[in-house]
Amino acid sequence: MLKCGIVGLPLCGKSTVFNVITRAGAEVKPYASGKTEPNRALVSVPDARFDRLVKIFEPKKETPANMEFVDLAGLSKGAGQGAGLGNSFLSFAAESDALLHVVRVFENPGVPHPEESIDPLRDWKIVEMELIYRDLGVIENRLSRLAAKKKVTPEETSESELLKKMQDHLIEERPLREFPLSEAQKKALSGFAFLTLKPELIVLNMNETQSENDPRIKAVTEAAERAGLFAARLFGSLEMDLAMLTSGEQEEFMKDLGIEELGRDRLIHEAYRLLGLISFFTSGKDEVRAWTLLKDSTAVDAAGAIHSDLARGFIRAQVVAYDDFIASGAGLPACRDKGLLRLEGKEYTVKDGDMIEIRFNV
Ligand SMILES: Nc1nc2c(ncn2[C@@H]2O[C@H](COP(=O)(O)OP(=O)(O)OP(=O)(O)O)[C@@H](O)[C@H]2O)c(=O)[nH]1
Ligand SMILES: [Mg+2]
């Protein structure tokens, strides 16, 4: 399951955004150990194709795609070099597939700001720097370990050459997202869980009284665009209040305020799209289920998302595109007759909307 970690400065509204996103049917389970574990919750991703498959198969069980959101402690300056509570939470960020970066825009005299003024562009950069420092630390550790080795393999030599280039890049205060890496290199580096390589969605947490023409909002939005990132706007507190109302009350409230779509739905969709996520489906009489993968994942990744046994014993994936399935009258035999039902190998790149059945042997 894909995990999205929520990062940001202390008191920028991370928990508020977490509550906005995870309210409906989401189970917030604080871990037994208490404060040292972040809040986690599952959110189901709305998908019309999934709803249609449920109608067609009438399964005993239906399981929409889920994403896990993890609400982390605030990152203070220096967290990337080991300071503050935020540091231990960076390891939870490292576990995440994607980051939701909350930036405070709202004015609220009752809520202190760690930097003592409202400046979203500055705040965004502070946190980006902490993420950069943390990645730098990971690289330095690895390089000194490699340097201490008596014998290095050719692979290790090329690894340390690459890491040194990445190190120079980070020292220039640039995220690894902007460092040219092939897919194969990214895969080889995945064990390092570099934070600045993760897809990131910025959430500007505003008051409903603030205008999007506010120069501070423009400044951070433009800087994000230059970095290839998107900054979504959200009325954090207002949306959290809305979440407490019944749906009838919600509608009325939204009409009064002239809001068409809940920020929550927009944000989940935005996160899904921007993070480059795709869905594939498994369907039958027992269960119709939607699964989430990162774009460019292979058939083995899909198998592994279902169960590690399926990845280990993978033989073939039987695949039909959702659109083909619907167009042929929603029957697998018809798809087979038309040659739309394919058998794919390990390296097959899964497409959004693929209906997949894994053949395996363990
Ligand atoms: N006016 C206003 N207040 C907000 C908004 N979002 C959050 N707050 C307030 O800011 C305070 C901090 O919000 P949280 O969501 O707890 O912030 P956080 O980032 O999780 O804080 P830490 O986990 O302590 O770092 C709370 O008192 C919120 O009510 C907003 O959009 N508008
Ligand atoms: Mg919090």
Distance 38 CA to ligand 2 centre (A): 9
Q: Amino acid identity of 119? A: D
At 73-115, the pLDDT tens digits run 777 777 666 665 556 667 788 889 889 999 999 999 999 998 9
Tokens describing residue 194: 């570099």
Runs of H (alpha helix) within the chain: 14-22, 48-57, 86-95, 120-147, 154-171, 183-188, 215-226, 236-244, 247-257, 263-274, 299-306, 308-312, 322-327, 332-337
How far is the C-alpha of 110 from the C-alpha of 1, rounded, in Å?
A: 38
- Rounded to the nearest whole angstrom, what is the distance from the C-alpha of residue 130 to the centroid of ligand 2? 18
DSSP 297: -
Closest CA to 179 of 160, 164, 157: 164
- Sequence-distant (6+) residues with CB within 8 A of 202 are 101, 103, 124, 220, 224, 229, 230, 231, 232
Give the ligand at the shortest distance from the Cα of 17.
1
Half-sphere exposure of 76 (CA within 13 A, CB side): 8
Q: Is the CB of 104 under 6 A from ligand 1?
A: no
50 lines ligand 1 (CB under 6 A): no
Read off the pTM: 0.82
- In this structure, the residue with its CA closest to atom 4 of ligand 1 is 237
Q: What is the pLDDT of residue 87?
A: 60
- What integer pLDDT is reported at residue 327 of this predicted model? 93
Report yes or no: 54 and 288 within 8 Å, Cβ to Cβ.
yes
Which of 108, 205, 208 to mutate to test ligand 1, by most ligand atoms within 8 A of the CB atom? 108
The helix (run of H) or strand (run of E) holding residue 38 is: none
- Please give the number of the atom of ligand 1 that sits closest to the Cα of 18: 15
Which parts of the chain sit beneath pLDDT 50?
Answer: 24-34
Per DSSP, 189 falls in state: T
Task: Give me ligand 1 centre to Cα 298, in Å.
Answer: 40
Atom of ligand 1 nearest to the CA of 102: 19
Check pocket membership of 10 for ligand 1, CB cut-off 6 A: yes
CB 234 within 8 A of CB 204: yes
Most ligand 1 atoms within 8 A of CB, residue of 11, 37, 72, 210 to mutate? 11
**Surface-to-core class of residue 209, CB atoms within 10 Å of its CB (0-12 exposed, 13-18 middle, 19+ buried):** exposed
Identify which of 104, 111, 235, 264 to mutate to test ligand 1's pocket (most ligand atoms within 8 A of the CB): 111
Q: Which ligand is nearest to the CA of 11?
A: 1
List, in order of start, the domains of the chain with CATH numbers: 3-274 (3.40.50.300), 296-360 (3.10.20.30)
- Summarize pLDDT for 225-283 with one digit per residue, the tens: 999 999 999 999 888 888 778 878 888 888 887 877 778 878 887 888 777 889 999 99
Distance from the alpha carbon of residue 120 to the mean position of ligand 2, in angstroms: 18
